[in-house]
Amino acid sequence: MNNLSSGNIKAMNTMAINAYCDQLIEITSLNQLMALTIPEQPVYILGEGSNTLFVDSKTPTLIRPNIIGVKVSETNTHFHLNVGAGENWHQLVQYTVANNMFGLENLALIPGSVGAAPVQNIGAYGVEFANFCHSVEWFDFETSEQLELPVAQCQFSYRDSIFKQALKGKGVITSVNLSLPKKWQPVLTYAGLNELNDTATAEQVMNKVIDIRNSKLPDPKQLANVGSFFKNPVVTQSVFNKLQAQYPDIPFYSQGEDQIKLAAGWLIDQAGLKGYRQGDAAVHQKQALVLVNFGGATGQDIAALAELVVETVAKKFAVTLEPEVRIVGEHGERLLIKSESQCLNQ
């Protein structure tokens, strides 16, 4: 039997938005998925709700994959882990480090479930999920079959994957297969980590990442938020040259030919919006890329603030910010702003 219920999903999204779900389907096994009659669209797959903004008073039908379990095997060179989509990501990171399987430590404290990790290719402090992904097991609603997608087919890029694009709404991730090389070196390229040296242990790196995150990013249990609200925008070299001429201190990260990534947090901060508050919706005081809900904000309030941020940054820098979070209305996923397609970043 599927675990079918309905109710308010405030406790199921870290932005603490009040919204009502008529059909909430909790899945704890592959057998349950196979027996499931996929409801009429729209359907939205919800993990721990740490990257979703519900903007209407109702949600679409929600499917929550709660398949748990971690299986570990090893070869001479690698540890292989099969991890159920319903496991908590940070607990997995802690488990691997405690058991001398290294690599995931830079991704500590990222909120959310393991099944959500491939969807937006979570990343932090110089490491991405894709770096350790061997394959993703995905259940296809149309054929009722589970497929194993090798990493090359997952189309991972910055905060993006096939699960957010061509496969969106067509199935659900059931587990991920990770491959952690036994030969390990710490990744200390990110500014805050380079005070550690090459002899740092994975545990030290993990603890440092936890300290940095705690110092900048609000704990959703204390102040509701969904992490970075926008992606760091990527602009062309010519757009960047003009910006740099005007703002010599602008942080940037070269992405290869003609692609420069900017820091959205810096743009929002320089646009004067850090700490800006409209009712209970606000731009976080310590990291302008994070929008927060002081308690009473609706999804529409947060979306209105996000629109103001996009417009203000576009006016000042002629750069278009795009949401990193997924915006979900009663009828499924949608864009934040209808004019979003007019991107200024070329």
Task: Give the footprint of ligand EPU on this chain (CB under 6 A).
Answer: 124-125, 190, 216-217, 227-228, 231-232, 251, 263, 265-266, 269, 274, 287-289, 324
- Report in angstroms how near the CB of residue 141 gets to ligand EPU at its nearest: 27
The residue behind tokens 């952690």 is: 180
Q: Give Cα separations from 42 to 45, 143, 328 (angstroms).
A: 10, 18, 10
Minimum CB distance to ligand EPU smaller for 48 or for 324: 324
State the Cα–Cα distance between residues 26 and 236, nearest whole angstrom.
44
Distance of closest approach, residue 71 Cβ to ligand EPU, in angstroms: 28
Q: State the catalytic residues.
A: 159, 228, 324
Structure tokens given for 343: 């991107």
Q: How far is the CB of 159 from ligand EPU (least distance, A)?
A: 6
Q: Is the peptide bond before 42 cis (omega within 30 degrees of 0)?
A: yes
Nearer residue to ligand EPU within complex by CB, 56 or 324? 324
Q: How far is the CB of 287 from ligand EPU (least distance, A)?
A: 5
Considering beta carbons, is residue 129 or 266 the nearer one to ligand EPU?
266
- Could you say which DSSP state residue 194 is in? T
Instruction: Provide the minimum distance between the beta carbon of 176 and ligand EPU in the complex, in angstroms, as a whole number.
Output: 18
Nearer to ligand EPU, 94 or 232 (CB): 232
DSSP string, 54-76: E-SSB--EEEEE----EEEEE-S
Question: Is the CB of 80 or the CB of 216 nearer to ligand EPU?
Answer: 216
Going from the C-alpha of 12 to that of each of 44, 283, 300, the distances in angstroms are 13, 22, 18
Identity at 58, one-letter amino acid code: K
Rg for the chain, CA atoms, rounded: 20
Token pair 């990527």 in the structure block, residue: 234
User: Which amino acid type is present at position 218?
Assistant: P
